[in-house]
Amino acid sequence: MSAPFRLAGLLRLRRLNEDAAAARWGSAAAEHRAARSRRDDLYGRAVAGDTTPDSVASLRAIAAARSSTVALLAELDAATMTAEQAERDLRDAWTAARTATAGLEKLEERHDERTAHAELAADQAALDELAVTRHGRGPTP
């Protein structure tokens, strides 16, 4: 019978923490991509806009639209930078969680190897004992 890995509960907890960190990182990455996409889309529309004014009123409207677009682009740039930083922080948190899990996984692997080796040694000892006992009895009919 193999001995249970004594840190199995801690390893399960670390794996759960790692999975949660990966989920948070994935969510932050999606938010970052969405913010960057909104910003890039607005930049594209601002550059592609028709700027040939027909009158003074349309020139003022274009100036007002450009002004609000610049303000919106500044907000989107800030949101993109914030989302990028959040993604970076959560990626670092996942890396730390993965590192903590990996150490315990290596311990578990070593434990499993030692347990398997001990079981094989016990089986071999039993076979050796059977061979010695059988050899002492003489030939079998």
Full-model pTM: 0.60
Per-residue pLDDT tens over the stretch 46-64: 766 655 656 777 777 777 8
- Specify if 123 maps to a domain: no
Per-residue pLDDT tens over the stretch 61-79: 777 878 888 888 899 899 9
pLDDT at position 1 over 70: no
Per-residue pLDDT tens over the stretch 6-38: 888 999 999 999 999 999 999 999 999 999 998
- Specify if 21 maps to a domain: yes
- Specify if 15 maps to a domain: yes
For the residues of 54-82, what is the DSSP string, one character each? SSHHHHHHHHHHHHHHHHHHHHHHHHHHH
Q: Mean pLDDT over all residues of the chain?
A: 86
Provide the domain count of the chain: 1
- Specify if 61 maps to a domain: yes
